[in-house]
Amino acid sequence: MTDNGAEPSDHLRLDQVSMKFGQRTVFENLSFSLPPGEISVIIGGSGSGKSTVLRLIGGLVSPQSGRIVVEGQDISLAGNDVLETARNKIGMLFQGGALLDSLTVFENLALPLREHTDLDDESIATEVHDRLDAVGLSGIDDLLPNQLSGGMRKRVALARAIIRKPSILLCDEPFSGLDPISTRKVEALLVDINRRRGITIVVVSHHVASTMRMASQIVVLLPDGLVVGSPQELQNHNDPRVKAFLTADRDQPSEMVEEVEVLPSGRRT
Amino acid sequence: MITQLANLGARSIFFIEEVGRVAYFGGQILVAAAKRPIRARRFVDEVFRLGVLSLIIICVCGLAVGAVLGLQGYNTLERFGATDSLGTVVGLSLIRELGPVLTALLTTGRAGSATTAEIGTMAATEQLDGLRMMSINPIHYVVMPKAFAMVFVMPLLSALFIVCGIAGGYLVGVFWGIDPGSYMTGLESAVTFQDDILGSFLKSLIFGILVGLISTYRGYSSEPTSAGVSAATTTTVVEASVVILIFDYFITALWGV
Ligand SMILES: Nc1ncnc2c1ncn2[C@@H]1O[C@H](COP(=O)(O)OP(=O)(O)O)[C@@H](O)[C@H]1O
Ligand SMILES: [Mg+2]
């Protein structure tokens, strides 16, 4: 059971997961599995629980009931030790980057290596620069996060998320707040990371155009459940709400999208 | 009447729960402290930052308080023709009481609030979650060095405050014409290490623990929004100030410091 993904569906799976914050039910009995080595995109209105799904997979919040299987291991009720091991396989790109603002770019990337490996300074520098290269950045070692533009910050955060060579990468709205060019850049990076490193990528996004381009599977979170399918399947789906998402203005979350929103919008959207 | 009682009951329960949560948080810090790495570097950085934040305000306030004590003391003592005891009066009030208490209050306002705001902002911008996802315990990496730094700097700042205060009293006394020598000898002969110095140190150590614990707890448990962080910061200042004064009374009553 705890062996590495014997079943492909055990790679990353939610099983009858119910999640509440206090009185507010975010979702009930949610089940889906995400294919290994592919890019999956989770879409849904704001407050529909997209970020919560990622936080559940990362073990940052625990569900009221249900199982969350990461690489064959149920982490829904796991203690700290199990979580730490599970997180070694997971990289997470937070919406705002979540870089430590008191550390330089270099130190931000070096931190996980210093904490969890015995690498000497030289090897750490090599690794850090390798990852910065991978996201198309160089010469910014000594800058602080607040000296970076939004797009650069996202890319540095992305570099940090993959520095421990995770097998799963979770990205919370990687395109939010980016101009179209940065959006294309980050999208290309995600596709590149997926192809080259074979990492399973789960993206939460409002961005319909890039979703249709890069997703091999789309999960649509609706107030009363969810719809899963490939981009082609969903485009011809007969639920009008799914259509509304996928035919919405291709570069903007449209009014149609907002209409789907039923839950009161959350603090983090 | 009944609803008021029920209200009181609910509040008491909430208060006791809250104390429990703070104690549990303190326990987590201690557990973290037993783990490797020891975060010496982060601790030193924090000591430095807290020191830089508080140094000037402590010196200025120490001088001012000492000068006022000197003035008040001089006027009072003059009535009894005992102005030679000015050093004793100023020194003992500073060492036993005003030094530790005022330092703790000032440090709360300056460094305690900054600590809460910083940790709260890290929570609001998901930096703490970011650490968790890198399998780094935020209590170990962020909270522990800050809390211990606060405990460490408090007695040092208090000592600095006392020295500045004694200097302030001295300047005022000498200005009014008392003998500089008798100010210092009076002070020296009246102060005992066991009762006064050690007691003063103990007091500020306890205040350091309180401020360190409250400021880190409030930041760590703040609502992850900007309104939440600012509320937490205010709470830190209010709670820590009240707790300092209450503890001050009990330490003095129980230990006679
Ligand atoms: N830590 C929390 N405490 C209370 N409510 C929360 C918390 N996190 C999320 N929520 C609520 O859960 C719902 C889903 O939030 P989220 O997953 O952030 O939505 P989104 O799909 O916009 O990312 C929202 O209504 C939000 O208010
Ligand atoms: Mg969100």
What digits encode the pLDDT tens for the residues A124-148? 999 999 999 999 999 999 999 999 9
Instruction: Enumerate the H helices of chain A as residue ranges.
Output: 50-57, 80-88, 105-116, 121-134, 150-161, 180-197, 208-214, 231-235, 240-246, 255-260
List residues of chain B with CB under 8 Å from any CB of chain A.
122, 125-127, 129-137, 224-225
Give B13→chain A minimum CA distance, Å: 19
List the residue whose alpha carbon is closest to atom 13 of ligand 1: A47
What digits encode the pLDDT tens for the residues A224-255? 889 999 998 888 888 888 888 887 654 444 43
Of A60, A96, A115, the CB nearest to B132: A60
Residue A48 CB–ligand 1 contact under 6 Å: yes
Atom of ligand 1 nearest to the CA of A266: 27
Q: In a structure prediction context, what are the per-residue pLDDT tens digits for chain B, which is 257 residues long?
A: 788 999 999 999 999 999 999 999 999 999 999 998 999 999 999 999 998 889 999 999 999 999 999 999 999 999 998 888 999 999 999 999 999 999 999 999 999 999 999 999 999 999 999 999 999 999 999 999 999 999 999 999 999 999 999 999 999 999 998 888 999 999 999 999 888 999 999 999 999 999 999 999 999 999 999 999 999 999 999 999 999 999 999 999 988 77
Around ion ligand 2, which residues have CB less than 5 A away?
A: A 51, 268
Give B119→chain A minimum CA distance, Å: 11
Check: CB of residue A195 under 8 Å from CB of residue A38: no
Q: Where are the domains of chain B?
A: 39-255
Looking at residue B104, its pLDDT comes to: 98
Check: CB of residue A66 under 8 Å from CB of residue A18: yes
**E strands in chain B:** none
Q: How many CB atoms lie within 10 A of CB B38?
A: 13
Check: CB of residue A73 under 8 Å from CB of residue A149: no
Which residues does B25 contact at the CB level (< 8 Å), separation at least 6?
B213, B216, B217, B220, B221
| Average pLDDT for A185-204 | 94
Which residues does B222 contact at the CB level (< 8 Å), separation at least 6?
B116, B119, B120, B123, B124, B228, B229, B231, B232
pLDDT at A6 over 70: no
pLDDT at A260 over 50: no
Q: At what angle do helices B180-190 and B86-93 cross, to 10 degrees?
A: 50
Express as a percent the part of chain A with pLDDT over 70.
Answer: 89
Half-sphere exposure at residue B124, Cβ-oriented, CA atoms within 13 angstroms: 20
Chain B residues near residue A90 by CB distance under 8 angstroms:
133
Check: CB of residue B138 under 8 Å from CB of residue A100: no
Looking at residue A30, its pLDDT comes to: 93
Return the sign of the alpha-carbon dihedral for residues A70, A96, B115, B51: positive
Looking at residue A106, its pLDDT comes to: 98
Looking at residue A238, its pLDDT comes to: 86
Return the sign of the alpha-carbon dihedral for residues A151, A152, A155, A161: negative
Residue where the block lists tokens 């997470």: A92
Cα A192 to Cα A91: distance, rounded to the nearest angstrom: 16
Chain B residues near residue A116 by CB distance under 8 angstroms:
134-135
- Cβ within 8 Å, pair A98-B126: yes
Radius of gyration of chain A (CA): 18
Which residues does A84 contact at the CB level (< 8 Å), separation at least 6?
B135
- Cβ within 8 Å, pair A112-B134: yes
Cα A105 to Cα A153: distance, rounded to the nearest angstrom: 9
Cα separation values, A203 from A115, A136, B128, B152, B216, Å: 27, 20, 21, 45, 33
Closest Cα in chain B to A164? B134
What digits encode the pLDDT tens for the residues A205-231? 988 889 999 999 999 999 888 999 999
- Cβ within 8 Å, pair A92-B133: yes
Report CA(A89)–ligand 1 centroid distance (Å): 25
Chain A residues near residue B136 by CB distance under 8 angstroms:
111-112, 115
- Cβ within 8 Å, pair B225-A267: yes
Question: Could you tell which of A26, A172, A176, A263 is best to mutate to test the pocket of ligand 1, judged by most ligand atoms within 8 Å of the CB?
Answer: A26
Q: Compute, in degrees rounded to 10, the torsion defined by CA atoms B236, B242, B248, B250.
A: -120
- pTM of whole model > 0.80? yes
Give chain A's mean pLDDT. 87
What phi and psi, each to the nearest 5 degrees, are found at residue A80?
Answer: -60, -40
What digits encode the pLDDT tens for the residues A58-107? 999 999 999 999 999 999 988 888 898 899 999 999 999 999 999 999 99
Check: CB of residue A173 under 8 Å from CB of residue A211: no
ipTM of the complex: 0.88
- Cβ-based burial of B126 (10 A; exposed 0-12, middle 13-18, buried ≥19): buried
What 3-state DSSP class applies to B163?
Answer: helix
Report CA(A55)–ligand 2 centroid distance (Å): 10
Chain A residues near residue B224 by CB distance under 8 angstroms:
267
Q: Which ligand is nearest to the CA of A223?
A: 1
Looking at residue A102, its pLDDT comes to: 94
